[in-house]
Structure 1
Amino acid sequence: MMPSQRRMRGFGLLVCLVIVITVYMTSGASQTRTSRFYTRTQEALQSREYEQATKQRDADDVGARLKAAEKAAKVKADKKSQVFLDSVDGGASDKSVAGRVKLSQQGGDNKRVQGVATVGGGARQHHPAKSESETLEEHEVEVELNAILKKSPIIIFSKSYCPHSKKAKHILLDLYKIVPEPFVVELDQHPLGPKLQNTLAESTGRRTVPNVLIIGKSIGGGDDIQELHMSGKIIDKITTLAGSRVTEATRRESPPEMRPRRI
């Protein structure tokens, strides 16, 4: 059976309609892509993406330069800090910050005199946190103390007005002949006296004066020296602790009058 003429016409009309719609849509899309509005919109979007990419690249470059500058500044600061520490330790100058001459140990080195530490004369224990936070003033006191300890095997830390100090000085300086002679430090007349006394209290366990040290080890104060003298043990004490550092330690037959000694 053949399709009717009406159906054939309807089918043909539908095909024509589809073709017209397709042509219209294709033409509209082409015109949209070539329109001025579409072109400007695309250019604006591309320009914005380019600007964002440029800003990001510039930001990355600035960050890299800042990191490089920070690294260079840190290296430079570390070098300056090392130079400063070397100069403070005595590499650049033979004088302390307060103008006092730093005495070098025999042999040309700058090692610390051992014994000034805990009671009993052990080597001083340095805590890392304390060393890192050590101020220039604390370093100056420590340098000065080590310089004093190099002046004689026996050091008498005293105060000029203290009767107990006078007693200890009289016994060690006038009643005995000791070579090298004990060195006296009058803390009340020394520019760093209070700070030296604080350091001695920390390192020897004795804050009061007199404080008599033999090779950096505290042997006590005025009463202790008098007891050693009265018991006849003072020479043995000196020779035992000082060893060959003391070349002579004898009792004077006619002791001279007490002489003031200070630095």
Structure 2
Amino acid sequence: MPSARRVRLLMMVVIAAVITTLFFTSQMRSTIPHDNRTVHDFFGKTMNGLGSQQGSGQVVMSGKGTTVDSTVKDKDGDGSVDEDDEQLAKEMADRLRAAEQKAKDLANAKAPLKPDSPSEVIGVGSSAGGQKKGGAKGSSKEDEDSKESEEDREVEATLNTILKKSPVVIFSKTFCPYSKRAKGVLLEKYSIDPAPYVVELDEHPLGKQLQARLGVKTGRKTVPNIMINGKSVGGSDEIAELDSRKTLIDKFKAMGGKQLSMKERFVGNAKEKQE
């Protein structure tokens, strides 16, 4: 069995050998260039995996250690987001922008957006509304005015034609009791030559417009409206009053002149009284 002195000596020799070995190996490592890419790749991949699990919204690019937006994905399938993936993402974005611009150019070529020439626009703003040549507001108002003028001319021409039908014209409505009363007196109690011309406004295509025009022309807006040579005698009440006073024939002959002949009929007697 070795003595304690020998054991201690052996341990010192071993320790000295280990220290010497570590010293020389450390000197050798300091002279060899150190490649950090392996460490960085491992660190980058580890952080990338942790980021995808925790949803941090950022990834670490291997080889650089810099952060990029989460829209950059592993394009080349090497298990990490690196410079190649960033380059692929950039190229794809450039292609998308080019395609979008091409689509816009094609759309503009088919329907180019051209401003109105100064000659087409007279004014701008609310005070100039409807002043654009051919504009919707101006055209609509002009068309409406033109339509009203054309209708007015048509109504006036129709009324003049009706008044020429006979010296006596009765403007009436089929359902109106006052019109029936006036027509009963004039057409049944009296014989008028030429025969009165009756216009039923509720059956005439321009009846409403004709009644409105008669209201302006004669001041009487209701029916019946009895006209003699274009002048109004009145309505049902006026005819009934003249008849009761025995002055109806005189009134009609005074307004109708020589071209109008009027007789009173006697019920139950063939004799007619000539005034």
| TM, length-normalised to structure 1 | 0.46
- Which structure ranks higher in relative contact order (CA pairs < 8 Å, sequence separation ≥ 6)? 1
- Which structure has the larger Rg over C-alpha atoms? 2
| TM, length-normalised to structure 2 | 0.44
